């Protein structure tokens, strides 16, 4: 089973002795802070976990995999993730 936001909210609620509403608000706020930081173009570095990076991608030629048609992919800005060494060690 995948870990979801609801699972994290439950853990925070139990650990901190908060109400469901309080822990929901806190986790929603936390996620919103991360998202707006990334939206502003700033990277988010979480030691022991990894780094959420903002990368600008240039325009490039692509292909529609269904039809095989050539098309131009517009320049865009994306989020990438660089795994920390600690997390990599935990997984292996």
79, 53 Cβ separation under 8 angstroms: yes
Backbone region of residue 40 per phi and psi (left: phi > 0; alpha: psi in -120 to 50; beta: other values):
alpha
Site string for other proteins, 48-77 (x = CB under 8 A): xxx---x---------------------xx
**Coil, helix or strand at residue 49:** coil
Shortest distance (Å) from residue 33 CB to other proteins: 5
Closest by CA to 34, choosing from 5, 63, 66, 3, is 5
Size of the site for other proteins (CB under 8 A): 45
Q: Which residues bind other proteins (CB under 8 A)?
A: 1-5, 7-8, 11-12, 15-16, 25-27, 29-31, 33-35, 37-39, 42-50, 54, 76-81, 83, 87-88, 90-92
């Amino acid at each position: 089973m995948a870990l979801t936001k609801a699972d994290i909210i439950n853990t925070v609620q139990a650990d901190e002795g908060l109400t469901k509403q309080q822990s929901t608000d806190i986790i929603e706020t936390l996620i919103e802070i991360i998202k707006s930081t990334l939206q502003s173009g700033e990277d988010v570095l979480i030691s022991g976990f990894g780094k959420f990076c903002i990368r600008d991608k240039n325009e490039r030629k692509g292909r529609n995999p269904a039809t095989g048609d050539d098309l131009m992919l517009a320049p865009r800005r994306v989020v990438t993730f660089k795994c920390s060494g600690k997390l990599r060690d935990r997984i292996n």
